[in-house]
Amino acid sequence: MRGSKGKSSVKDWKRTLVKLWAYLSVHKRLLTAVLVMVVISSSLGLLGPYLLGRAIDVYLVPRNSSGLLSFIFLIAGSYLLYSLSTWLQSYWMIGVAQRTVATMREDLFRQLHKLPISYFTKRQHGELMSRLTNDMDNVSQTLNSSFIQLFSSVLTFIGMLAMMIWLSPWLTLITLSIVPLMYFGMKWITARTGRFFKEQQRNLGDLNGFVEETLSGQRVVKTFSQEKRVIAEFEAKNERLKTAGYWAQTYTGFIPKLMNVLNNMCFAVIAGAGGILALNDMVSIGVIVTFSEYARQFTRPLNDLANQFNTFLSAVAGAERVFEVLEEEEEAGDEQRAVELKTVKGEIEFSGVFFSYEQDVQTLSGIDLRVSPGQTLALVGPTGAGKSTVVQLLSRFYEPSGGQIRVDGQDICRIKRHSLRQHMGFVLQDTFLFQDTIRENIRYGKLEASDEEVEQAARLANAHAFIMKLPKQYDTVLSQDGGGISQGQKQLLSIARAILADPSILILDEATSSIDTITEIKIQEALYRLMKGRTNIVIAHRLNTIRRADQIIVLEDGKIIERGTHESLLRQRGFYHGLYDSKSSRSKKGQLG
Amino acid sequence: MLKVFSYLKSYKLSIVIALSLMLTELVVELWHPLLMAHIIDDGIIGEDLSAVLRWGGIMVVLALIGFAAGIVNSFFAAHVSQSFGFDLRKHVFGKIQTFSFANFNKFPASTLITRLTSDVNQLQNIIFMGLRILMRAPLLMLGGLVMALIVNAKLALVLVLVTPVLLVFLLWIMNKGFTLFRLVQERLDTTNGVLRESLIGMRLIKAFVRFGHEVRRFTKANDDLMDRMIAALRLVELTLPLLLLVMNLSILYILWSGNRAIGSDSAEVGEIVAIVNYTLRITGAFSVVSLILTSVSRAKASGQRLAAVLDTKVDIVDSDEVNGDLCVKTGKLSFENVSFCYPDTDTPVLGSVSFTVQPGETLAIMGATGAGKSTLFQLIPRLYDVNGGTIKLDDADIRYFPLESLRMGIGFVPQEALLFTGTVRENIRWGNERASEDEMIEAARRAQIHETIMKLPKQYDTVIGQKGVNLSGGQKQRLSVARALIRKPNLLLLDDSTSALDAKTEANLLAALKEHQCTTLIITQKISTAMEADKIILLEEGRVLAEGGHEQLLHSSPLYRQIVQSQLGEGVAI
């Protein structure tokens, strides 16, 4: 069983490597230049010890000084070239590696934006962030050095082997005797490390996710005085990370040691055996010196390979996690025949729409509705009735499991997603503002808007007055938990943002829930003006905001139970009447008592 | 910086063991060329086979000892570095948990996340390296130098001159690299920040079709990160070729002067070979040093960033006069002339606010957007401290309560229902781990969410995504209420936490809360909610404008009348 697991992971690696190569191959020309430099530096690296040995044999041992100086200059020249080529190869490789990593990061980022909303419901932000930082960091570190070392190691190894055989086949044979030892040692170690590296990266992502979430929810942690609990939970994750890290690192630590001992043994064997051979005049002292140096260098590429193999393992583990996201199924692509919508009149039609977020729970069943251009539709109903879901389907965050949704008579599945959304303006239930200036936050509705337009929109949304009271007014930077402004003010800003967007279809999902009613009345006029000439869908609990709607639909458990205008629904004395009544009756009671 | 490394103290023994094992390895390494010289001089030149075998055997044994030392070293070094990383993360995270909101404004979440992971990793790596090769490299250098001097001082002189110069050069690069890598980590924060915002605001971005805009923002941050990284790496990668060149030229010098020394009979060939060998090893050590250099520079930058977190002064802590026995009992709450403005600003948000709520009473707080309602709430569990006046709970200044028991006595339902990844059960019990299953269901019932939960496929075991993404606004709010109720608090703070509820559910919820005898403060926009309260406070621009019951305010406050009208329509008689 373990064997089959191992095999599949080797296959995974291959896949990961092929994908990695696809990124690297963009820089083929630079990579070729790097390779050329690697060839040059590797051969010069081989030449150096040989020349050194020659210098000893030819000049030092026979005590012969004539010509030594020019020979030394020759060696100096090769050293200079060696350094130059080493420098160039890493200079270029850094560029290639970092550009590759940057591209991968960007692709990952793009991919995240292409994923359907449902992808994010089961994943922690921090865990995804970890893939983009911690995992990419591993890839970056490996690319920086491994690529070069991989090639130079192979080249050096081959070259050195050739030189050694040429110099002394016997000594070569003796030196090579350590290779099987090395092979089995490495196999034993790497069989263990790969698993731990994967686990380490996974645990790191897990920890990252936890930290991100705890920091986002810091307000609750504090007010509930749950620091100890959070710390305890953190500690458990921390502990798991430590354990995985410990084994990964320990085993990794064996590699250079193994190489070192083999290296030293080799050195000893060469010295000993070389000594014996020299006594029999089979080799010269110079050859032994050259050989001992070669032996060091011979194990070095293997050593490097081994060392690299481990950073390499952690990088593959990292890259795998990155590609995992990249391969995730994207938001269903636009149909081939999908069209762009140039202008939208704003006719909306749902016919027999079904939808469920999770299997066996119908969130919407058989929704039929029609909104004419310029009309306002209000959705009311108890929480969880499916009001927001209607909006989510209309904007194609999710696809209905049955039925059809049409805008201007066109099935929205046949409209390009971005084109569809471009004609819609949203004020969503969860106000989200960026950590940026107020001005830029409003401008988000229409990126090319001028400062005047931004202020105009703010005025319409009744946000101008409070903005002007802030220390830096429109240039006030919102802090991460919106510390500076209140929830209601945030809603005003997001209304301003929607006003600026000037859409054909306006969607207000609990847009004014945190705004006090006096302010709401003040912006009511602005909202009505805003809604004029557009098709509007309004979700609200406060009934007076929806009183003026052309059509009110009451949802319960994903079904439409009542529809009509405010007056007609009141006359029906049904659910809507009950909702309305629960408010007014209590107010009467209040007045009485 | 020192503080960061002080966590190493607990592992003194392991460090000593790891270092001595490393030294053992080092001795082996340094001994080898010497033995090699013996083989050449005694064995080969002296034509003595037994000497060759003897010295060769010793070399093998030494190599094995070195190996054993290295393997054992691995265990200790990994133990120290991983435990250090563990401790560091633990302390930094613990420190973050003590942060006040003013502290958080200085450290946005994205930077804290990078610091806890990426920065700790850098330090952890350098410690592991440090216990294995970082120290070994300079020692190898020093040892090689000493040995070379012992073999032949005159020939080795050039090394004594060159090595310090190179070391100074290395230090210089290291310093420069440190500055560059600090910028790299900062850019990593920025990139991380853009990503995080993108993830949180995903719906909005999709809705506004701002994909391109976000990508541009990210690309800018990402490219910046790349450029900084390239600059930093290119600088440190320059060192190795330069070092190699200088050291290689030194070898040539040794050869040349060695040749002359042989001529004058002041050196043996074996000696020269040994010195050349030592020089090669020193060179090897240098290249290791330059490799480590990258890590040291990065680690230093990271260490500083972690130290900055650890050294942050937390401004909300238990004061000296804290009374350890105090805990919230009756829930009587009073504000006395409380004024407040957010740190680093001078716009007052609250100005001399005074009111009292008797145990078991319900107080509704109303007021315009930005009037200071939520701010007022945040002062009660001491998320911020007042600038003037006092807040009293059970007639004692809240600053005399131990922070923990103060907050334990309060049930807080924030405006934004912040839920966590996990099951419904976990989220409710988050409020009180010790609560029994029945208590949890009871809390859910009161919060009017029990029936909704029972309709979910896995009921209480249904997993909800981060920030409750798969729940409706009203469901999130009710879960958040249940989480507060399960604590059975004596003081309940509801910050507009029923805004997404329909009127019926809300009425039921409020009725259920009444049964639970605790002091309740409720921020609301709805008159219907406010009418249920014993007392209503009207806030305007941080001041109490009016205070009293519904009837009272109807008569005394024009603003209140206006609010009532706005909600109940023209037809309501006053």
- The per-residue pLDDT for range A303-357, each reduced to its tens digit, is 666 666 666 777 777 777 777 777 777 666 666 677 777 777 778 888 888 888 7
Query: Which residues contact residue B454 at a Cβ distance below 8 angstroms, ignoring those fewer than 6 apart?
Result: none
Total Cβ atoms within 10 A of residue A475 = 12
Order across the sheet with B491-495: list the strands: B410-413, B491-495, B519-523, B362-367, B535-540, B543-548
Asked if residue B63 lies in contact with residue A268, where contact means CB atoms within 8 angstroms, the answer is yes
**Distance between CA atoms of residues A379 and A537, nearest Å:** 7
**B60 contacts A426? CB cut-off 8 A:** no
Q: Which residue of B has its CA nearest to A258?
A: B67
The gap from C-alpha A431 to its chain's centroid, in whole angstroms, comes to 24
The gap from C-alpha B549 to its chain's centroid, in whole angstroms, comes to 48
**Residue among A113, A134, A288 whose CB faces B118 most closely:** A134
User: Mean pLDDT for chain A?
Assistant: 76
| Alpha carbon separation from A538 to A299, A351, A479, B207 (Å, rounded) | 73, 19, 29, 16
Predicted pLDDT at A308 = 62
Q: Which residue of A has its CA nearest to B110?
A: A212
**Residue among B29, B114, B527 whose CB faces A587 most closely:** B527
**If DSSP codes are grouped into helix, strand and coil, which group holds residue B423?**
strand
Ordered by start, the domain boundaries in chain A are 11-26+98-326, 340-423+548-593
Task: Answer yes or no: is pLDDT of A593 > 50.
Answer: no
Residue ranges of chain B whose pLDDT lies below 50: 570-574
**Residue among A230, A242, A480 whose CB faces B108 most closely:** A480
**Distance between CA atoms of residues A241 and B117, nearest Å:** 11
The better pLDDT of the pair B372, A577 is held by B372
CATH code, residues A340-423+548-593: 3.40.50.300
**Which tokens in the block code for residue A30?**
């630079």
**B504 contacts A272? CB cut-off 8 A:** no
Total Cβ atoms within 10 A of residue B24 = 18
H helices, E strands: number in chain A: 21, 10
Task: Answer yes or no: is pLDDT of A590 > 60.
Answer: no
Sign of CA dihedral B317, B322, B328, B333: negative
Q: A53: pLDDT confidence band, cut at 50, 70 and 90?
A: confident
**B418 contacts A219? CB cut-off 8 A:** yes
* DSSP state letter for B510: H
Sign of CA dihedral A172, A174, A175, A176: positive
pTM of structure:
0.75
Continuous segment of H or E residues that includes residue B523: strand B519-523
- Farthest CA pair distance, chain B: 124
- The 8 Å CB, 24+ separation contacts for A239-244 are A239/B86, A240/A203, A240/A206, A241/A200, A241/A203, A241/A204, A241/A206, A241/A207, A241/B86, A241/B89, A242/B82, A242/B83, A242/B85, A242/B86, A244/A196, A244/A199, A244/A200, A244/A202, A244/A203
Name the amino acid, one letter, at B329.
K
- Percent composition of chain A: helix, strand, coil (DSSP 3-state, to 5): 70, 10, 20
Residues of B in contact with A119 (CB under 8 A): none
Percentage of chain A exceeding pLDDT 90: 0
Predicted pLDDT at A5 = 38
Show the CA angle centred on residue B403, arms to residues B399 and B408, nearest 5°: 120
The better pLDDT of the pair A80, B118 is held by A80
Q: Which residue of B has its CA nearest to A445?
A: B208
Question: By CB neighbour count within 10 A (0-12 exposed, 13-18 middle, 19+ buried), where does B2 fall?
Answer: exposed
Domains and CATH numbers, chain B: 2-310 (1.20.1560.10), 319-409+489-574 (3.40.50.300), 420-488 (3.40.50.300)
Continuous segment of H or E residues that includes residue A38: helix A28-54
What residues are paired with B313 via a beta bridge? none
**A188-207: per-residue pLDDT in tens?**
877 777 778 788 888 888 88
Identical fold between A11-26+98-326 and A340-423+548-593: no
**Residue among B75, B211, B532 whose CB faces A113 most closely:** B211
Total Cβ atoms within 10 A of residue A488 = 28
**Distance between CA atoms of residues A569 and A553, nearest Å:** 9
Predicted pLDDT at A2 = 36
**Distance between CA atoms of residues B56 and B65, nearest Å:** 15
**Residue among A128, A218, A358 whose CB faces B199 most closely:** A128
Predicted pLDDT at B208 = 66
Residues of A in contact with B248 (CB under 8 A): 48, 76, 79, 82-83
**A245 contacts B215? CB cut-off 8 A:** no
Total Cβ atoms within 10 A of residue B540 = 14
Residues of A in contact with B564 (CB under 8 A): 587
Closest CA of chain A from B338, distance in Å? 19
* DSSP state letter for A479: P
Q: Which residue of A has its CA nearest to B469?
A: A121
**A56-77: per-residue pLDDT in tens?**
777 777 777 777 788 888 888 9
**A99 contacts B563? CB cut-off 8 A:** no
Predicted pLDDT at A483 = 55
Name the amino acid, one letter, at B271.
E
**A268 contacts B63? CB cut-off 8 A:** yes
Per DSSP, which regions of B332-423 are E strands? 333-340, 350-357, 362-367, 388-393, 396-397, 410-413, 422-423
**Residue among A83, A102, A384 whose CB faces B222 most closely:** A102
Predicted pLDDT at B335 = 85
Buried b (16+ CB within 10 A) or exposed e, A329-359: eebeebeeebeebeebbbbbbbeebebbeee
Q: A6: pLDDT confidence band, cut at 50, 70 and 90?
A: very low
**A261 contacts B67? CB cut-off 8 A:** yes
Question: By CB neighbour count within 10 A (0-12 exposed, 13-18 middle, 19+ buried), where does A403 fall?
Answer: middle
Residues of A in contact with B499 (CB under 8 A): 510, 513-514, 541
**Distance between CA atoms of residues A230 and B42, nearest Å:** 69
Continuous segment of H or E residues that includes residue B237: helix B211-263
CATH code, residues A11-26+98-326: 1.20.1560.10
Predicted pLDDT at A579 = 67
Residues of A in contact with B374 (CB under 8 A): 486-487
